[in-house]
Amino acid sequence: MRFLPTEIPEVLLIEPQVFGDSRGFFMETWHAAKFVSAGLDLGFVQDNHSKSVQGTLRGIHYQIEKPQGKLVRVISGEVFDVAVDLRKSSPTFGRWIGDILSAENKKMLWVPPGFGHGFYVLSPEAEFVYKCTELYAPEHERCIRWDDPELGIAWPLLALAPLLSAKDLAGISLAAAELYP
């Protein structure tokens, strides 16, 4: 398993070692000791799985209290995945990292607590799974607009308007958002 740094030091791109042959493949997606050796001593408490159609954009989501760290990956299809630093005291506040995660490339992204998260579905459909370090707490959930000009996320949109939930349509600007210290 390789833990690759990104432009934001706390966000890591993870490439698992894949063993494949004519029958298929095998890979580890979580190994506590390997993550600890990479500086990530994580206690996951919840796993989530979503399926979305092409053009769906989910995010930018975060929990202002009980912030969640997320280990994210795609098991079917392809998405453009984004992590946004929402820590006002951070030198990388307001910056984002984006990468393509797919069933084919098997990459994972570590999105630490204090970051917002979102993804856009590039394939006809995608199944997205992630492990969380905190339980979902809807009363603490917040949403920043996916197209906030202050963030300037370069989404690789396939159409003029992505498919959004009511929650994502109601997202607010970074300037108006409740943020981490």
Active-site annotation, residues: 61, 130
Rounded to a whole number of angstroms, the CA Rg of the chain reads 16
Nearest to 103 by CA among 6, 25, 13, 34: 25
Strand partners, 97: 83
Which residues contact residue 130 at a Cβ distance below 8 angstroms, ignoring those fewer than 6 apart? 47, 48, 70, 71, 72, 73
Q: Per the structure block, which two tokens stand in for 146?
A: 């996916």
Q: Per the structure block, which two tokens stand in for 4?
A: 């690759």
Cβ atoms of residues 12 and 1 within 8 Å: no
